[in-house]
Amino acid sequence: MQKRIMAVLSAVLVALLFFTGFDRFLVGLTGIPRWAFIILFMSFFVVFYTYHLLAASAFISYNDEENKIVLRFYQLNLFKSDKISYEIPKRDFAGFKTSYKFKKLREEMVLFRKYQGKMVKYPPIPISALTKSERSKLIKSLNKFVPL
């Protein structure tokens, strides 16, 4: 959602510079040419988008109400928007591990499951977009199902 707001805000500011007298106002006020403002506004968007791309921001839905753990997520990015769902029976859940990448910019969680006598590792789930309280609730809930 933040990326859409930032994209719309950048587009509106660039449109104001092109289609209204706002550019003359800004140039008169600051002395900076119109093209510099356009580059500045677009740079803000590119930096903002790159941050979320590196952090792998994702929408996450978690449910453990029935006899299985259901974790659904999709990355919030223009190029890769696959919706992925992991469903693990509670009796087969073997644990999880969190790790950081890109100097703690991206936090990921890997789930483990017992399957046919072996330990299976799921692909990592990006949890960087979760707030501290949401992350804490998720970890606390998953810890209830980790076998001792």
Domain spans in the chain, listed from the N-terminal domain onward: 2-55, 59-143
pTM of the model: 0.67
Give the per-residue pLDDT at 96.
92
* pLDDT value for 83: 82
How many Cβ atoms from other residues are within 10 Å of residue 18's Cβ? 11
Mean of pLDDT values over 21-41: 80
For 35, list phi and psi in degrees, rounded to 5. Answer: -60, -30
Helices (H), the chain: 2-19, 22-30, 34-55, 132-143
**Six token digits for residue 89:** 């029976």
- 3 state DSSP class of 100: strand
